[in-house]
Amino acid sequence: MFAPDRNLALELVRATEAAAMVAGRWMGRGDKNMADGAAVNALRYMLNTVSMSGVVVIGEGEKDKAPMLFNGEHLGAASSPEVDIAVDPIDGTRLTALGLPGAISVVALSEKGTMFNPKNIYYMNKLVTGPKAAKVIDINLSPAENISRVAEVKGKALDDITVVVLDRPRHDELLAEIRSAGARIKLIPDGDIAGALLTCKDHGGADILMGIGGSPEAVITA
């Protein structure tokens, strides 16, 4: 059975660190494809040195469209633990190309056969908050009700609640609902994995993430 392991975690940190460092050489140079390609190469190389036997469940795409880190690729340098892998060499390629903050390199593992594969579901409606309020939110409730519940659990006034939302035209109605509820909004141009993680930190500067974004990023965040 797969269980969290400190040494494995550190090996994964080294892998994402390598991807971030090589991608950083392309920061601000206006070519997101070169930045992504560099990160893919570095991440794949490092993951193949990790003591695991993994299969990419969420990667860069299907084998015929992604030569490396494709869905179904086997990675690792050992026969165990057997794991499912989700990768995003750069969540925020455009941010990197433009020299903006907020891009990160991410790897997630789970026991073999347990990772949700969204397949042809490309977008999901997302609702993320930290551990203090995780049990009181419900994606079927209105934004106003979820904001109110989080505020109550965290002991905050409504106007002290900050909601992270991707800056997209599809969110115009959501933004209006959030403001009507009395909360603040932190708009992010890209990279909702990093935005979601802000809500999980005591001093991350955000309380909730809401809105529609990519399915692979949703699984990695979870």
- The answer to whether the pTM exceeds 0.85 is yes
220 closest CA partner among 72, 118, 94, 73: 118
How many angstroms separate the CA atoms of 60 and 72, rounded?
A: 10
Range of the structural domain that residue 165 is part of = 123-221
Q: Could you read off the pLDDT of 62-75 as tens digits, one per residue?
A: 765 678 999 999 99
Other Cβ atoms less than 10 A from the Cβ of 201: the count is: 10
CATH number at residue 198: 3.40.190.90
pLDDT band at 202 (very low <50, low <70, confident <90, very high): confident
Higher pLDDT, 67 or 199: 199
Answer whether 171's CB lies under 8 Å from 186's CB: no
Q: Are residues 82 and 147 in the same domain?
A: no
210 burial via Cβ count (<10 Å: 0-12, 13-18, 19+): buried
In this structure, are 160 and 68 located in the same domain?
Answer: no
Per-residue pLDDT averaged across 141-154, rounded? Answer: 98
Q: How confident is the model at residue 3 (pLDDT cuts 50, 70, 90)?
A: low
Domain-located, residue 25: yes
In a domain, 116, yes or no: no
In the chain, the percentage of residues whose pLDDT exceeds 70 is 96
For position 162, what pLDDT does the model report? 98
Q: How many structural domains does the chain have?
A: 2
Domain end marker among 51, 76, 111: 111
Q: Which residue has the tokens 């659990």?
A: 153
Residues 53, 129, single domain; the answer is no
Average pLDDT over residues 89-102: 95
Task: Pick the range with the lowest mean pLDDT from 40-54, 107-121, 147-161.
Answer: 107-121
Residues 72 and 141 in one domain: no
Final residue belonging to a domain, choices 55, 84, 111 = 111
Asked if residue 60 has pLDDT above 90, the reply is no
199 within domain boundaries: yes
- Same-domain pairing of 43 and 136: no
CATH of the domain at 97: 3.30.540.10
Q: Write down which residue in 90, 111, 132 finishes a domain.
A: 111
Is residue 68 in some structural domain?
yes
